[in-house]
Chain A
Amino acid sequence: MEPIVHFRAAVALLGRFPALAGIDLDVMRGEIVLLRGPNGAGKTTVLRACAGLVPVVRGEATVLGHDLRRNAAGVRRRVALLGHASALYDELTVADNVTFWGRACRARPDDIAAALQLVGLDGRLRDVRVGRLSAGQRRRAALACLLARRPELWLLDEPHADLDHEARDLLDRLIRQAVDQGATVIMSSHDLDRALALAHRIVTLDAGMTADQRAAGTGPGTPAEALRGDGEATTETTAEVSHVA
């Protein structure tokens, strides 16, 4: 079976800086891959490169059959990126935002309504302006935008950030459902408890290169060990992990 993401010695530049300095990565359909690594390792750049937003200038880079070096834009309609920025307009309501981004991606009205329902924003929050939402509610609205477009490849950059416990459970359920339906997920997350429970495979990046790849549950993969390996655990997450252990 062909990988749907195939990077081989891929180099991507941000300005003149090689944010990816020869990365190797293969992701099969239906996989959930967790990207790990210290700040600046290239996790976000890998996700953005997979979305065709960062040009790959050297090496091989193919996503969903599209050669990113020839036509990076070709893949964009088939992927969705949930990044740190939500791309929501503060003056518009939740429904306005999800409808706009859904229609922009040629989503059907049914899919837009279903997306709002899935993230629990079809009730009283539906007609509230995004500017008045909490960070977690904004995150759920952004997730609804992602769901509405029914992407084949989910690219999630810190998807658990800002979400409360229930919303994190919901997100994890949605990820598993999407994978059951044939989607593929590449994510980076500092909530390693959850991320490791979701992931099929862990790819460790360092200085824009692949440092290690292993199946989840093998090697130093327990949350506490993973956090030590990252070298960037926050006090909060370390405390959570200690509690779990």
Chain B
Amino acid sequence: MWRDAALVAGRDLRIEARSRVTVHQVAPFALLVLVLFAFALDPARSILERATPGLYWITVLFSALLALSRSAALDETAGARDALRLSGLDPSGVFVGKSLAVAAELVVLEILLGVGVIVLYGAEPAGVGLLAATCLAATVAVAATGTLYGALVSGLRVRETLLPLLLLPVLAPVLIGATRAFEAALGRAPADGWPWCGLLAAFAVLYSVAGALAYGTLLEGS
């Protein structure tokens, strides 16, 4: 499975590196959203500062939708789905590989957005360990869930519009958990952030396992 996962992740990342969609479209979109939030809330600077964790994760989720939609579209290439089925690649490996590629793109995006909120919103990261652990768990959760739902809607004509509609409600716990953990890490809330981080990790494990188990069926059914 891991060999197949590495092969598929390498393919997706190579395509991404050549097409530069993340660099030329997703990253500018994410930064633009941050700037627009800053414009909208700048008169009340205190609100902007208080809302920084939530705005950060909303921006990550919106940007992730673009990356996930792109990832799902790769296997919509003419004949690619049949070729995947004929290849004998382990479907679990394909799922893990696609999730890893999306996760790698999201990590780059989150670092970029992290710099953005420090510069634009004046955020001061304190609990670096909690921030890193939250990012890791939330990234895996978003990538695994998005890849699973991407396969679920693949082959449908309304795939691109349906994916956000299905995915955003499912990712609501990730948004809540990551925001609360970030609030704690940035010192904006007195509560301990680690339980929220644990929730994110549980969510990530749940959807990773579900995706690995269900991906083969979805590949056949689409």
Binding site for B on A (CB under 8 A): 48, 51-53, 73, 76-77, 79-81, 83-92, 96, 100-101, 103-106, 129, 145
Contacts and interface: CB of A to CB of B under 8 A. Distances in A.
Contact of A89 (B11, B86, B87, B88): B11
22 contacts: A48-B82, A52-B86, A73-B220, A76-B86, A79-B86, A81-B82, A81-B86, A83-B82, A84-B79, A85-B78, A86-B78, A87-B78, A87-B82, A89-B74, A90-B77, A91-B15, A91-B18, A91-B19, A92-B18, A100-B11, A104-B89, A105-B87
Interface in B59-118: 74, 77-80, 82-89
A145 B220 CA distance: 22
B80 A87 contact: yes
Interface residues of B, number: 21
Contacts, number: 70
B45 interface: no
B85 A101 contact: no
A103 B86 CA distance: 13
A115 to B, nearest CB: 15
B94 to A, nearest CB: 9
A100 B79 CA distance: 15
- Which of A84, A87, A103 has the largest number of chain B CB atoms within 10 A? A87
Contact of B83 (A52, A79, A91, A101): A101
A123 B87 CA distance: 26
- Which of B4, B18, B82, B87 has the largest number of chain A CB atoms within 10 A? B87
Nearest to B91: A73
Contacts of B84: 104
B87 A104 contact: yes
A176 B6 CA distance: 36
B14 A80 contact: no
A77 B84 CA distance: 11
B85 A89 contact: no
A84 B87 CA distance: 17
A77 B78 contact: no
Given A91-B15, A92-B18, A103-B7, A85 B86 contact: no
